[in-house]
């Protein structure tokens, strides 16, 4: 029944049928961190987590930085494209209007943000999930003033929602001794604290109109280049990976329970841990040749926490799993997006109006 509902919604989108009395599309509202940010942090003047330097965005559009922490598309970009949905603009995009929201949705994701308010404080400015939900509440009021209560509720309840956070709560909070959470909780206690907080946040989103919602699980965080370079062996940090698995298991169960208790809710879990883990362990199997170091780096100076104009690029970006110390490449994101689509049985509308795919990776400017 849930699959049929999603397919029906996507069919309505493809046909351009209005919702209620307004000319509204089926759109996405995206909540997340740097893996989903499409430019919000670009507009945070004091924020330290930014993707506004070359070579970010080199394989996207005009090749200039656009706020994505990647050389190309995010996972949410790719899933939306393949479902025939418009790409939601960043909430802080100065050109955003009510009409744009009703035609494209909104992306509230913020690099450095977490489920917990205390996560990533050393980035100075970032949107936590609570803040993103607050911004969504304000968005709802703008829409309500334009089209009225009934049509707003109808529009929001037919929209699709993506929530993709959690890695920063571990890497930029629990695993750093400077944060009190690291010595206040043991591993199980912190995962419970995190999932209890997420449950409360998703309940708020439901009260604001969210009905069709997907939460992305965490990948093997202990295998990102930053974690490897900080280990004594250069290998994956299994303690960090176990935290990701514990979070995924607890979140999946929580979503199943929440979906059964909230009226008309279809809250689902998008898990790609196994395929990412296999990709990192066996990159050649998937057409890659490097899964342990970043494509964009400062050579032997590591960790290089961000990509800058002086960074050296790998010769073939399509063969690297990781773009920088934290984030996957466009090619890796596509593999993960395809796995989520497959496992969740997401329908493809076949719309010809979806944004085009990222271009094939060109040779490195240094290569």
Backbone angles phi, psi at 31, to 5 degrees: -120, 130
Active-site residue among 33, 34, 169, 297?
A: 34
Backbone angles phi, psi at 276, to 5 degrees: -65, -40
Q: Quote the Cα angle for 275-278-279, to 5°.
A: 85
d(CA 320, CA 24): 39
* Active-site annotation holds for 274: no
Spell out the residues 6+ positions from residue 141 whose beta carbon is closer than 8 angstroms to its own.
none
* Active-site annotation holds for 318: no
Confirm if 283 and 258 have CB atoms less than 8 A apart.
Answer: no
Active-site residue among 59, 206, 259, 327?
A: 327
* Active-site annotation holds for 34: yes
Residue 69 vs residues 75, 151, 326: alpha-carbon distances, Å: 11, 35, 9
Active-site residue among 324, 330, 331, 347?
A: 324
- Residue 319's CB is within 10 A of a number of other CB atoms, namely 18
Question: What percent of the chain is helix, strand and coil (3-state, nearest 5)?
Answer: 45, 10, 45
d(CA 183, CA 232): 23
Annotated catalytic residues are 34, 324, 327
């Amino acid at each position: 029944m849930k699959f049929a509902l999603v397919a029906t919604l996507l069919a309505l989108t493809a046909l351009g049928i209005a919702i209620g009395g307004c000319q509204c599309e089926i759109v996405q509202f995206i909540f997340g961190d740097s893996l989903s940010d499409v430019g919000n942090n670009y507009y945070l003047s004091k924020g330290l987590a930014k993707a506004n330097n070359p070579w970010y965005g080199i394989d996207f559009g005009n090749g200039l930085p656009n706020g994505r922490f990647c050389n190309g598309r995010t996972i949410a970009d790719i899933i939306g494209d393949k479902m025939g949905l418009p790409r939601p603009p960043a909430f802080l995009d100065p050109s955003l209007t009510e009409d744009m929201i009703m035609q494209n949705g909104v992306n509230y994701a913020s690099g450095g943000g977490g489920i917990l308010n205390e996560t990533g404080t050393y980035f100075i400015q970032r949107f936590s999930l609570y803040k993103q939900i607050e911004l969504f509440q304000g968005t709802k009021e703008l829409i309500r003033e334009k089209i009225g209560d009934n049509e707003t509720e109808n529009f929001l309840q037919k929209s699709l929602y993506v929530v993709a956070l959690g890695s920063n709560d571990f890497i930029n909070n629990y695993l750093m001794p400077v944060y009190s959470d690291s010595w206040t909780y043991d591993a199980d206690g912190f995962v419970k604290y995190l999932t209890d907080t997420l449950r409360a946040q998703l309940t708020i989103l439901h009260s604001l109109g969210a009905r069709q919602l997907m939460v992305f699980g965490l990948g093997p965080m202990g295998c990102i280049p930053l974690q490897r370079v900080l280990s004594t062996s250069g290998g994956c940090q299994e303690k960090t990976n176990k935290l990701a698995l514990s979070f995924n298991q607890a979140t999946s169960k929580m979503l199943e329970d929440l979906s059964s208790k909230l009226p008309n809710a279809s809250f689902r879990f998008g898990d790609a841990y196994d395929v990412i883990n296999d990709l990192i362990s066996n990159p050649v199997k998937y057409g890659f040749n490097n899964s342990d170091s970043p494509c964009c780096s400062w050579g032997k100076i590591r960790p290089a926490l961000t990509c800058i104009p002086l960074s050296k690029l790998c010769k073939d970006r399509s063969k690297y799993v990781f773009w920088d110390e934290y984030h996957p490449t466009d090619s890796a994101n596509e593999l993960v997006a395809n796995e989520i689509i497959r496992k969740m049985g997401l329908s493809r509308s076949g719309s010809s109006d979806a944004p085009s795919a990222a271009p094939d990776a060109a040779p490195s400017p240094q290569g």
